[in-house]
Amino acid sequence: MDSSSPEVPDSLDGWVDNTTAFDRVQSVAMTVDKPMTAPKIAEESIVSPNTARSHLKRLEELRIVVDVGDDNSKYRANPLYSRFRLRSQLLEEYDREGLINHRADLLERVERVKDEYNTSDPSELRERAVEADTAEVVRDLMKTASELESVLYRINIVADAIEQYETYTQYVL
């Protein structure tokens, strides 16, 4: 490995050996919690900053990621692309009845949170975490809020897939 190539930890050798630089950059950019600069994505993707910039530019042209930085480019997944991708995956995995059952399962998860915490609002759970007295309670509330937010997002997409099932499946399946 030359001095311009990033150092590859042993635990990531297989990832580097079995994926392209483009795939690694896309994978990192699609899974970041907060927008990241190209050099940070490069570091996580085990590519050079110039390679990351080049691939991020292409991903931006494809509308897979968006640049949300002001003076300094910062990238994150395009929420519209993420929504489209999840809906497509759901339609490949479930038929209409399966989607309805999946929605019911998700609604049960929301009901369990409401029963345990007397709310189904992730923001309220986060507010409670700020006021919590122990680290364990803070972590539990934050984890529950994050999971609940994800479930509510997924319910919305599943409902859309059910409502538009005939239209979507004539093109997807």
Query: Where a domain ends, among 33, 50, 77?
Result: 77
Is residue 143, in this structure, part of any structural domain at all?
Answer: yes
**Structural domains in the chain (count):** 2
Contact in structure between 16 and 51 (CB atoms under 8 Å): no
CA distance 73 to 111: 40
Q: Is 67 helix (H, G, I), strand (E, B) or coil?
A: strand
Q: Is pLDDT of 71 > 80?
A: no
Is residue 156, in this structure, part of any structural domain at all?
Answer: yes
Is residue 107, in this structure, part of any structural domain at all?
Answer: yes
> Does residue 32 sit in the same domain as residue 55?
yes
Domain around 19: 10-77
Q: Is pLDDT of 126 > 70?
A: yes
Is residue 1, in this structure, part of any structural domain at all?
Answer: no
> Does residue 111 sit in the same domain as residue 138?
yes
Higher pLDDT, 4 or 2: 4
Tell me what the mean pLDDT of segment 55-68 comes to: 94
Each residue's pLDDT tens digit, 100-125: 999 999 999 999 999 999 999 999 99
pLDDT reported for residue 33? 82
* C-alpha dihedral (130, 140, 122, 70), degrees to nearest 10: 70
Contact in structure between 164 and 83 (CB atoms under 8 Å): no
> Does residue 119 sit in the same domain as residue 150?
yes
Question: ∠ CA 132-150-39 to the nearest 5 degrees?
Answer: 90
Burial class (CB in 10 A: 0-12, 13-18, 19+), 121: middle
DSSP string, 120-169: --HHHHHHHHHH-SSHHHHHHHHHHHHHHHHHHHHHHHHHHHHHTHHHHH
* CATH code, domain with 58: 1.10.10.10
Tell me what the mean pLDDT of segment 69-85 comes to: 89
Is residue 4, in this structure, part of any structural domain at all?
Answer: no
> Does residue 57 sit in the same domain as residue 99?
no
> Does residue 28 sit in the same domain as residue 100?
no
Higher pLDDT, 16 or 167: 167
Res. 2 pLDDT band, cuts 50 70 90: very low
Is residue 84, in this structure, part of any structural domain at all?
Answer: no
pLDDT reported for residue 12? 65
> Does residue 66 sit in the same domain as residue 129?
no
Query: Where a domain ends, among 51, 77, 103?
Result: 77
Of 6-15, 55-64, 152-161, which range is least confident? 6-15
Q: Is pLDDT of 69 > 90?
A: no
Q: Is pLDDT of 11 > 70?
A: no
**The pTM is what?**
0.75
> Does residue 109 sit in the same domain as residue 45?
no
